[in-house]
Structure 1
Amino acid sequence: MKSSSVSSPNVENTEEVRWHHVLDPSLIAHSHINPLSSSFLHPTQATLARKDPNSNEEFLWTSRNQRKNRHIKYTPNTKSRHGSSLLVGLGHMVRIEYWNVSWWLTLNVIQAFTLGSVVWVINGFYSFLPFVDSSFANSVSGIGWSAWVGATIFEFGAILGVLEAWNRGDTANFGWGVSRALGYKDDNDTEAQGNTEFDRDAPGSSNNSVQAKTKLVRKRKWMWYSTDPKYWHELGFLAAFVQFWAATIFWISGFTALPEIQNTISTETGVQDGTFWTPQVVGGTGFIISSTLLILETQKKWYIPNLLSLGWQIAIWNFIGAVGFTLCGALGYASATSTKAAYQSSLCTFWGGWAFLIGSVLQWYEAVNSV
Structure 2
Amino acid sequence: MGDGTTKRNEAFHPGRQPLKHHPDFWHAPHRIRGPISFLNPTRAHFQPQRGSARPAEPSSSSGGLEKRRSKYREADHGISYKWTSRNNRKGRHALAVNPSIPLAELPYLAPPFTASVRETFRGIQRMFTVFPVWDVSYDVATIFTVGSVIWVINACFVYLPLVQPDTEFKNEILYGGGITAFIGATIFEIGSFFLMAEAVNENRTGCFSWALEQALSHDAENGVDGIHLRPSELHCTHHHINKYNLVGKQCNKFGHVSTKPEYAASSSPSPRSGSRNWIWFPSKEEIRTHYIHDLGFLASFSQLVGATIFWVSGLSALPGIYNHMSRPVTIIFYWTPQVLGGLGFVISGALFTLETQSHWYKPAFKTLGWWIGMWNFIGGVGFTLCPAFGYDERSWAQYQASLSTFWGSWAFLMGSVIQWYESLDKYPVEVDRGDQSDEGSGDGKR
TM category, shorter: 0.7 to 0.9
State which of 389, 395, 411 in structure 2 corresponds to 1:339: 395
Q: Compute the displacement of 1:323 (Å).
A: 0.4
Pair 1:133 & 2:164 matched: yes
1:102-181 correspondence runs (5 A) = 104-135=135-166, 136-137=168-169, 138-176=172-210
* Other-structure match for 1:45: 43
Is the CA contact 1:184–1:202 (under 8 Å) kept in the aligned structure 2?
no
Deviating more after overlay: 306-315 vs 51-60: 51-60
Q: Compute the displacement of 1:277 (Å).
A: 0.4
Q: Compute the displacement of 1:186 (Å).
A: 6.3
Q: Compute the displacement of 1:48 (Å).
A: 1.2
Pair 1:360 & 2:416 matched: yes
Q: Compute the displacement of 1:272 (Å).
A: 0.9
Give distance in 2, aligned partners of 1:90 and 1:339: 42
Deviations 1:254-310 (A, max 9, x none): 001011111111xx2221111100000000001000000000001111111111111
Letter in 2 for 1:45: R
Partner SS, residue 172 of structure 1: coil
Q: How many residues are aligned here?
A: 342
* Other-structure match for 2:293: 233
Deviating more after overlay: 178-187 vs 131-140: 178-187
Task: Give the unaligned 5+ runs of structure 2.
Answer: 53-74, 96-110, 215-226, 238-249, 429-446
* Other-structure match for 1:76: none
Q: Compute the displacement of 1:183 (Å).
A: 8.6
Is the CA contact 2:209–2:231 (under 8 Å) kept in the aligned structure 1?
no
Pair 1:222 & 2:256 matched: no
Normalising by the residue count of structure 2, what TM-score does the alignment of the two structures yield? 0.70
Give distance in 1, aligned partners of 2:113 and 2:210: 11
Is the CA contact 2:207–2:235 (under 8 Å) kept in the aligned structure 1?
no
1:1-371 correspondence runs (5 A) = 15-16=6-7, 17-19=10-12, 20-23=16-19, 24-29=22-27, 30=29, 31-36=31-36, 38=37, 40-52=38-50, 53=52, 56=77, 57-71=79-93, 84-96=118-130, 104-135=135-166, 136-137=168-169, 138-176=172-210, 189=235, 191=237, 192-196=250-254, 202-207=261-266, 210=268, 213-216=270-273, 221-227=277-283, 228-229=286-287, 230-265=290-325, 268-334=326-392, 336=393, 338-369=394-425, 370-371=427-428
Give distance in 1, aligned partners of 2:76 and 2:228: 10
Give distance in 1, aligned partners of 2:336 and 2:212: 49
Letter in 2 for 1:171: T
Letter in 2 for 1:215: R
Give distance in 1, aligned partners of 2:138 and 2:196: 14
Q: Compute the displacement of 1:133 (Å).
A: 0.9
Give distance in 1, aligned partners of 2:179 and 2:80: 52
Q: Compute the displacement of 1:22 (Å).
A: 4.0
Is the CA contact 2:383–2:405 (under 8 Å) kept in the aligned structure 1?
yes
Relative distance call for 1:154 and 1:185 in structure 2 (3 A) is closer
Partner SS, residue 110 of structure 1: helix
Give distance in 1, aligned partners of 2:422 and 2:357: 17
Give distance in 1, aligned partners of 2:187 and 2:160: 23
Q: Compute the displacement of 1:156 (Å).
A: 0.2
Is the CA contact 2:35–2:357 (under 8 Å) kept in the aligned structure 1?
yes
Q: Compute the displacement of 1:206 (Å).
A: 2.6
Q: Compute the displacement of 1:190 (Å).
A: 5.3
Deviating more after overlay: 226-235 vs 54-63: 54-63
Is the CA contact 1:109–1:157 (under 8 Å) kept in the aligned structure 2?
yes
Partner SS, residue 33 of structure 1: coil
Relative distance call for 1:133 and 1:200 in structure 2 (3 A) is closer
Q: Compute the displacement of 1:15 (Å).
A: 3.6
Deviations 1:116-158 (A, max 9, x none): 1011001100110111111114430111100000000000000
Partner SS, residue 128 of structure 2: coil
* Other-structure match for 1:3: none
Deviations 1:202-261 (A, max 9, x none): 224233x856x4334x87622222112222221011100111010000000000101111
Q: Compute the displacement of 1:159 (Å).
A: 0.1
Give distance in 2, aligned partners of 1:219 and 1:177: 21
Letter in 2 for 1:109: V
Task: Give the unaligned 5+ runs of structure 1.
Answer: 1-13, 74-78
Partner SS, residue 106 of structure 1: helix
Give distance in 2, aligned partners of 1:199 and 1:305: 36
